[in-house]
Chains A and B, each alone.
Chain A
Amino acid sequence: MNNSISPLIILTIITAAAGLLPFLISEKSRLYRSVSPVVIFISSIISLIYLLFIWPDIVSNGSPVILGWQMPFAKLIFSIDALSGFILIPLYILTAASSVYGWKYFDSHKIEKSHWFFFSLLTSGMFFVLVSQNAIAFIISWEIMSVSSFFLVITDKEKKESMRAGLIYLITAHVGLAFMFITFFMLAKTAGGSFDFSSWKNLDISSFKAGLIFITALISFGTKAGFVPFHVWLPLAHPAAPSHVSALMSGIMIKMGIYGILRVLTFITPFQTWWGILLIVLGAISGVLGILFANGQHDLKKMLGYSSVENIGIILLGIGVGIVGVTIDSQTLIFFGFAGALLHVFNHAMFKGLLFMGAGAVIRQTGTGDIDRLGGLAGKMPLTSILFITGSIAITGLPFFNGFISEFMIYFSSMYGAIKSDSIMIIFSSLFAGAALALIGGLAVANFTKVSGTVFLGEPRVQQSSSVKDVPFAMILGMGILAAVCIIIGMGSYFIIPQYLYNPVLEMTTGINVNGSADLMTQMIMIITIILSAILLLIGISLLLYKFFTKTDDENVEVGTWDCGYSNPLPSMQYTSSSFASPAIKYVSFLMGFKIDKKSDSRIFPASGWSFKSTVNDWILTRIYEPFTAYTARVLRTPRFLQNGKTGAYVLYIAVTIISLIIWMFGFGS
């Protein structure tokens, strides 16, 4: 059987080439808008099918599938193992969905020639990051990914916020890259100078050095993954980018950070307990802060950006519990923790992509992403509403959808750690993880019911054009693919998860036997699926009974909502997103940078022109990063005088340097 991954590489190159096609086709031609997204869509689908086809070979082969290219200065090795293969699956699904969505997204306004070029470069970059087994190839692919996404973020060049968001993103990504260099160089030095990932396994590292590498990897990949405190670029960059790009970035690109952390973890075995506990704490903080900030946002896409921070926190909780499990040799903690984290990587890609696309649909049709100016869109955009609400229920981790399965695994691992373990530290860190997850889940329900309800249900809060209608079918198809996956994983995980999830988890277990836990998980998923199916059946029956046995008086059906006898209720009196979130936000306003701008008139005959604005400020950005960077900029400005633009001075610098080097070489060296 042909188990090489060269077809995948060829398809990726085709995808990248597809991005160049708009440069070759005239703008007037009908193909101009369609050719790139359609080619990208088709190649992603074919790649996905092929990947699933060779999946048994990937996991059963002791050695990964290899395709080695000898380049002049470095060897580029590409191969897939179960871990990278598992993340490739949502990459392909999301690329397909967002390309078919993006095909029709731009119909209302102009599209730049370079858009699909950078888009395909982004997806190809991510593919190569996942298949690189060599640090040089990894870094090159990582850079391609970062830079192409930067250009996508600043698509809307006229807006000042876009440029600011793009710059903050670029700088953060490169700070992360610097730390990545440090991490890889430390690993290479320990491995005797080799940059191949294969020679980095089973290294003999001192625990101090392993801890150091862990920290630098955490900082480096944290800037990409977006957990607190490295998250500051996320809520700025995701609203600025076009919606299908935000879907791709939030769905898969930030998971590259998670992949990096997991990859480095496989190099620096054995794990140390404090790593797990650090990840649990970071995960809890990111989760809670992320969802609290999301609760206070007025802009749809910014809210979704913070929600991504929250979900990365949940993934870190799972990884943290898994690491702790490895140190105490508890197979349940290991298996359920890592399985939950990896499955949540997949699930989040699906429902976050769906939510961003839904948000994009709303913004495209109504012209605004401000939650407080929307409302009542369910009647005008029924399909988008159903899909967005599906995504909302999925992201809150409630049953029948995929979020529940991954959160269940992480819950169970923390429960097991709290109940069955003997060490006080493990007990309390597991309990903390579980309680944090419960709080995050509750706040997520509050947030997403608020957003779904405010945007789609009720009445429009601001006068809305009556011509708002639903989006083109291609966009619905993109969203529908993701929603379908959410439901399939939610109800059919028994058939899918053992085959595709268990082997990636095995990559992280560092050799501990987890067969018992694997069987336990399979059994649990089976029972959950049976119970949920029975409940679903009951719901269906009860809905039918309800419909047949309730009487409505057909003449009387056009009644307004009960307004408690008030004679003139207005749609603007409905609860807005800030009012909905205010109990939560006000309670922790000290954490939120909560600010109210109010203009009122307290005279006897008050004038009009009252205004009220509440904002939640990301104090990590404004109170920590910005002063720090301002200070650094001030300090670094002092040697500015050296760069005075005079050629003579530069010649002087060169002469001084060469003379010093000569003196050093001949005076002190051999």
Chain B
Amino acid sequence: MNYKLLNLTVSVLAALIISPLFAGIIVKTKALFAGRKGQSFFQIYFNLFKLFKKQVVYSKTTTVIFKIAPAIIFVLTLSSTIFIPVIPVDIEPLFSGDMILMIYLLGLARLFLILSSLDTGSSFEGMGASREAFYSALIEPVIFIVLISIMKFFSTTSIAQALFHNTSPDSVLLIFAGIPLFIVILVENSRIPFDDPETHLELTMIHEVMILDNSGPSLGLMEYASYIKLWFFSLILTSLLVPTMPDYGIAVQLAVSAAVIAFIAVLIGIVESVFARVSLIKIPQFIITAGVIALMGFFFSATRVLVW
């Protein structure tokens, strides 16, 4: 029991402390690709700190929902990180079916995000809310299928346990679960090619436009929550890619995981630099393609038909 609680705390602290650095790596990669020197890796920490010091301004159209949403979204996003352990010690998972609570906590955060954006009465925010609602509805079954295929491979109903038992990852699983998972990271966290986190043209934004009216600490909490969510999904992908090596000790394990997650950040940066935002009409096609790949991955996990 003690170990469990320790691991939970480590997961939460890791999310809090390292997620802005993760986002910083992405920004730096994009800058380097564009031929610039780019901002410091740690710039986002300073940005967040600046935002928290500022004064907040509320629109007179908004109700109490707009005021309480950022804190609620932040806590909910942070609490979903407790389900994916950072330190790979062989402990029992919190409970079977943890995946459902994990995804649904993020869903509740999204509900409050949509409500707070509709609260402002701005047509731009309504636009972003509508797109966010639809695309996330489409990506939910894909997340479900991907995580279930991982769990199926290790024959356990807990995602944390599945990621722990990953002592010798199967290349088929890596490809057919890893690719949809990567697409999920891009969709859920509003990255190119699904949304552009840098643009501030209203007609092209999805996530950015929903937080258009937030200011000061309110904006700081929303941005922090989005960094934590990005870290969270990348952590799932990392845990899938990195095998649990009990013979080598915790330090080596953590070092390898750190290297892999930094690599994922660089990869996201490269994808963001190389691709452009696709037309909104094409986004469901991407999502369904990811779903089909995930379904194939589930089939391979279920039948172990391909063993390389």
Q: Give the B-binding residues of A (Cβ under 8 A).
A: 375-376, 378-379, 385, 389, 393, 396-400, 404, 408, 411-412, 415-416, 418-420, 424, 427, 431, 434-436, 438-439, 441-443, 445-446, 449-450, 452-454, 457-459, 520, 523-524, 527-528, 531, 534-535, 538-539, 542-543, 545-546, 549-553, 556-564, 569, 571, 573-575, 579-584, 587
Known A-B contacts A446-B133, A569-B122, A581-B130; A404 and B217 likewise in contact (beta carbons under 8 Å): no
Residues of chain A with a CB closer than 8 A to B303's CB: 424
| B16 interface contact, C-beta 8 A | no
Q: Can you list 5 A-B contacts with CB-CB less than 8 angstroms, sorted by A residue number? A: A396-B107, A445-B111, A535-B76, A539-B71, A559-B60
On whether the beta carbons of A411 and B100 are closer than 8 Å, the reply is yes
CB of A527, distance to nearest CB on chain B (Å):
4
| B105 interface contact, C-beta 8 A | yes
- Measured in the bound complex, the distance between the Cα atoms of B135 and A27 in whole Å is 55
On whether the beta carbons of A557 and B137 are closer than 8 Å, the reply is no
| B68 interface contact, C-beta 8 A | yes
- Measured in the bound complex, the distance between the Cα atoms of B140 and A621 in whole Å is 30
CB of A625, distance to nearest CB on chain B (Å):
29
Residues of chain A with a CB closer than 8 A to B284's CB: 587
> Which residues of chain B from 112 to 126 have a CB within 8 Å of any chain A CB?
114-115, 117-126
Pick the contact of B71: A412, A457, A543 (CB < 8 A).
A543
Known A-B contacts A441-B107, A569-B122; A583 and B115 likewise in contact (beta carbons under 8 Å): no
Known A-B contacts A546-B70, A551-B55, A559-B57; A439 and B105 likewise in contact (beta carbons under 8 Å): no
On whether the beta carbons of B118 and A542 are closer than 8 Å, the reply is no
Known A-B contacts A412-B100, A412-B157; A564 and B118 likewise in contact (beta carbons under 8 Å): no
Residue of A nearest to B114 (CB): A449
Residues of chain B with a CB closer than 8 A to A427's CB: 302
Known A-B contacts A393-B111, A528-B95, A546-B217; A561 and B144 likewise in contact (beta carbons under 8 Å): no
- Measured in the bound complex, the distance between the Cα atoms of B82 and A535 in whole Å is 11
CB of B296, distance to nearest CB on chain A (Å):
12
Residues of chain B with a CB closer than 8 A to A545's CB: 71
Residues of chain B with a CB closer than 8 A to A445's CB: 107, 110-111, 114, 133, 136-137
On whether the beta carbons of B100 and A575 are closer than 8 Å, the reply is no
Known A-B contacts A439-B141, A452-B115, A561-B213; A523 and B95 likewise in contact (beta carbons under 8 Å): yes
On whether the beta carbons of B213 and A431 are closer than 8 Å, the reply is no
CB of A448, distance to nearest CB on chain B (Å):
8
Known A-B contacts A427-B302, A457-B118; A550 and B216 likewise in contact (beta carbons under 8 Å): yes
CB of B138, distance to nearest CB on chain A (Å):
7
- Measured in the bound complex, the distance between the Cα atoms of B117 and A558 in whole Å is 18
Residues of chain A with a CB closer than 8 A to B213's CB: 561-562
Residues of chain A with a CB closer than 8 A to B114's CB: 445, 449, 453
On whether the beta carbons of A563 and B157 are closer than 8 Å, the reply is no
Known A-B contacts A442-B140, A452-B115, A583-B280; A574 and B75 likewise in contact (beta carbons under 8 Å): no
Pick the contact of A450: B59, B97, B130 (CB < 8 A).
B130
- Measured in the bound complex, the distance between the Cα atoms of B133 and A442 in whole Å is 8
On whether the beta carbons of B140 and A543 are closer than 8 Å, the reply is no
On whether the beta carbons of B101 and A531 are closer than 8 Å, the reply is yes
CB of B146, distance to nearest CB on chain A (Å):
11
Minimum-distance CB pairs A-B, first 9: A575-B126, A453-B118, A442-B137, A446-B133, A458-B121, A442-B140, A435-B141, A561-B59, A583-B134
CB of A176, distance to nearest CB on chain B (Å):
32
Residues of chain A with a CB closer than 8 A to B280's CB: 583
Residues of chain A with a CB closer than 8 A to B100's CB: 408, 411-412, 415
| B127 interface contact, C-beta 8 A | yes
- Measured in the bound complex, the distance between the Cα atoms of B131 and A584 in whole Å is 9
Residues of chain B with a CB closer than 8 A to A582's CB: 130
Residue of B nearest to A382 (CB): B63
Pick the contact of A457: B56, B105, B119, B130 (CB < 8 A).
B119
- Measured in the bound complex, the distance between the Cα atoms of B79 and A535 in whole Å is 7
- 17 other contacts beyond A550-B217, A552-B58, A564-B124, with CB at 8 A cut-off? A398-B107, A412-B157, A441-B140, A445-B114, A445-B133, A449-B129, A453-B126, A458-B120, A535-B79, A550-B56, A560-B60, A574-B122, A575-B118, A575-B123, A575-B125, A583-B131, A584-B134
CB of A496, distance to nearest CB on chain B (Å):
19
Cβ-Cβ contact count across A and B, 8 Å cutoff: 242
On whether the beta carbons of A399 and B121 are closer than 8 Å, the reply is no
- Measured in the bound complex, the distance between the Cα atoms of B280 and A587 in whole Å is 11
Interface centre among B63, B72, B156 (most CB of A within 10 A): B63
- Measured in the bound complex, the distance between the Cα atoms of B216 and A553 in whole Å is 12
Interface centre among A398, A453, A524, A582 (most CB of B within 10 A): A453
- Measured in the bound complex, the distance between the Cα atoms of B299 and A424 in whole Å is 10
Residues of chain A with a CB closer than 8 A to B148's CB: 415, 418-419, 431, 434
Residues of chain B with a CB closer than 8 A to A534's CB: 79
CB of A340, distance to nearest CB on chain B (Å):
12
| B194 interface contact, C-beta 8 A | no
On whether the beta carbons of A389 and B144 are closer than 8 Å, the reply is no
On whether the beta carbons of A580 and B133 are closer than 8 Å, the reply is yes
Q: Give the A-binding residues of B (Cβ under 8 A).
A: 55-63, 65, 68, 70-72, 74-76, 79, 82, 94-97, 99-101, 104-105, 107-108, 110-111, 114-115, 117-127, 129-131, 133-141, 143-145, 148, 151-152, 155-157, 202, 212-213, 216-218, 221, 280, 284, 298, 302-303
On whether the beta carbons of A419 and B111 are closer than 8 Å, the reply is no
On whether the beta carbons of B101 and A453 are closer than 8 Å, the reply is no
On whether the beta carbons of A524 and B60 are closer than 8 Å, the reply is no
Residue of A nearest to B299 (CB): A428
- Measured in the bound complex, the distance between the Cα atoms of B152 and A427 in whole Å is 10
Residues of chain A with a CB closer than 8 A to B125's CB: 575
Known A-B contacts A419-B152, A539-B72, A575-B129; A439 and B107 likewise in contact (beta carbons under 8 Å): no
CB of B194, distance to nearest CB on chain A (Å):
13
Residues of chain A with a CB closer than 8 A to B104's CB: 397-399, 404, 408
Residue of A nearest to B70 (CB): A546
CB of B123, distance to nearest CB on chain A (Å):
5
CB of B101, distance to nearest CB on chain A (Å):
6
On whether the beta carbons of A399 and B141 are closer than 8 Å, the reply is no
Residues of chain A with a CB closer than 8 A to B110's CB: 445
Pick the contact of A415: B107, B119, B151 (CB < 8 A).
B151
Residues of chain A with a CB closer than 8 A to B218's CB: 550
- Measured in the bound complex, the distance between the Cα atoms of B67 and A487 in whole Å is 22
Residues of chain B with a CB closer than 8 A to A584's CB: 133-134, 137
Residues of chain A with a CB closer than 8 A to B75's CB: 535, 538-539, 542
CB of A374, distance to nearest CB on chain B (Å):
12
Residues of chain A with a CB closer than 8 A to B217's CB: 546, 549-550
Pick the contact of B123: A435, A520, A573, A581 (CB < 8 A).
A573
- Measured in the bound complex, the distance between the Cα atoms of B155 and A424 in whole Å is 15
Residues of chain B with a CB closer than 8 A to A424's CB: 302-303
On whether the beta carbons of B97 and A524 are closer than 8 Å, the reply is yes
On whether the beta carbons of B68 and A543 are closer than 8 Å, the reply is yes
- Measured in the bound complex, the distance between the Cα atoms of B202 and A419 in whole Å is 43
CB of B24, distance to nearest CB on chain A (Å):
24
On whether the beta carbons of B156 and A443 are closer than 8 Å, the reply is no
Residue of A nearest to B285 (CB): A587
CB of B97, distance to nearest CB on chain A (Å):
4
On whether the beta carbons of A418 and B152 are closer than 8 Å, the reply is yes
CB of A558, distance to nearest CB on chain B (Å):
5
On whether the beta carbons of A431 and B118 are closer than 8 Å, the reply is no
On whether the beta carbons of A575 and B133 are closer than 8 Å, the reply is no
Known A-B contacts A399-B108, A441-B140, A527-B94; A571 and B121 likewise in contact (beta carbons under 8 Å): yes
CB of A332, distance to nearest CB on chain B (Å):
9
- Measured in the bound complex, the distance between the Cα atoms of B148 and A36 in whole Å is 53
CB of B78, distance to nearest CB on chain A (Å):
8
Pick the contact of A439: B68, B99, B137, B202 (CB < 8 A).
B137
Interface centre among A427, A527, A546 (most CB of B within 10 A): A546
CB of A412, distance to nearest CB on chain B (Å):
4
Residues of chain A with a CB closer than 8 A to B302's CB: 424, 427
On whether the beta carbons of B94 and A459 are closer than 8 Å, the reply is no
On whether the beta carbons of B145 and A431 are closer than 8 Å, the reply is yes
Interface centre among B55, B117, B137 (most CB of A within 10 A): B137
